Amino acid sequence: MKLRSFGLKAWPVVGVALVQAILLLAHWFIYRTVVVFFAPLSQEVILALRISFLVLAFSFIVAALLSFRHSNPLVTLAYRIAAVWLGFLNYFFFAACLSWLAWIAVLLAFQEKYPHHHRDLVAGVFFIPAFLAGVYGLLNALWIRTRRVTIQLPYLPPSWNKRTALLISDLHLGSVNGPRFSRRIVSMAARLRPDIVFIPGDFFDGAKTDPDMLAAPFRELSPPLGTYFVSGNHDEYGNLPLYTEALTRAGIRVLSNERVTVDGLHIVGVPYGGTSNVALRNLLESLQLSRAEPCILLSHVPSRLPVVEQTGVSLQLSGHTHAGQIFPFTWFVRRAFGRFTYGLQRFGSMQIYTSSGAGTWGPPMRVGTHSEIVLLKFE
């Protein structure tokens, strides 16, 4: 029992150490590529590069850990810089890999006929597009689309026909997305005039912050049928009770393993943590859901679908995946969640919509995906 308890306490440290080791190796590899391909460099420049890459290698982990313990402008600035650099690092790493592969190909093709002092041109072919990809990702993440989707639910109460629900997922309010971002989302939502609002998790990023300040703009969003929230993993990384109180003060109904009925439509909220497949099945079965009475489940992650479908849920609304957020992680996320990574899908008699989210985590970038809020129209 003691060994198990020690393991539970140790795994976050091991995880952080592993991520830090990977970041160190990636920074060293890019540093070596720059020094080799852009040679000759003066000793002063090489020393400056060594110091810069060493600091940058530790920047994100240190800034992230500080953001969980402290809330001040200096920590916020450090985190934002580190997060932006993390996004560029992703593309610079692939640029470095391609530079070496291209140079090997050049040597094999031209051998001694190709002058070595043109290696900087080979690297530039890859590093310039990598930089532009990062810039595009920063700008693309700022463009929040409004997606409109029609949902046809069997046995829909007549009063719900043509009504609209706004799905807002993964705001990640904290060190990067602050009060201004929160006000912007509320402004967009107000213009759509939804009848009801659903927020399936990650309202907060988990960092130490003022949750009342971040949630306050939502007081101005007063849909006729209310706003409903379930916690996501990042909400639970932080001070969830404090977050929950702030959301409640902002007029948002927090659902935790419970069901509410809104004008004949059942809405069930299941938080991210602490619910196994067996516990989830028992919970949903205890609610005595019926396929003749439509039910919407708010659940942060698009998972455990067989359990949910078998207990009579009509529609599950989720987020979490960010659709992969930035390439090439879009491939990995698609591998994990398959067709449920993004959009409206069907699983047996149930439908599921997974949103790519309004905000971002880590690098405030989107490449190959987009930020969104989703207006659902019921029929």
Residue 112 banded pLDDT, cuts 50, 70, 90? low
**pLDDT tens, 242-255?**
999 999 999 999 99
For residue 51, pLDDT over 70 is answered with: yes
Per-residue confidence (pLDDT) for residue 3, from 0 to 100: 44
**pLDDT tens, 210-219?**
999 999 999 9
Percentage of the chain beyond pLDDT 70 is: 95
Three-state secondary structure of the chain:
CHHHHHHHHHHHHHHHHHHHHHHHHHHHHHHHHHHHHCCCCCHHHHHHHHHHHHHHHHHHHHHHHHHHHCCCHHHHHHHHHHHHHHHHHHHHHHHHHHHHHHHHHHHHHHHHHCCHHHHHHHHHHHHHHHHHHHHHHHHHHHCEEEEEEEECCCCCCHHHCCCEEEECCCCCECCCECHHHHHHHHHHHHHHCCCEEEECCCCECCCCCCHHHHHHHHHHCCCCCCEEECCCHHHHHCCHHHHHHHHHHCCCEECCCEEEEECCEEEEEECCCCCCHHHHHHHHHHCCCCCCCCEEEEECCCCCHHHHHHCCCCEEEECCCHHHCECCHHHHHHHHHHHHHCEEEEECCEEEEECCCCCCCCCCCCECCCEEEEEEEEC
* In the chain, where the domains are located: 2-140, 146-378
* CATH node for 146-378: 3.60.21.10
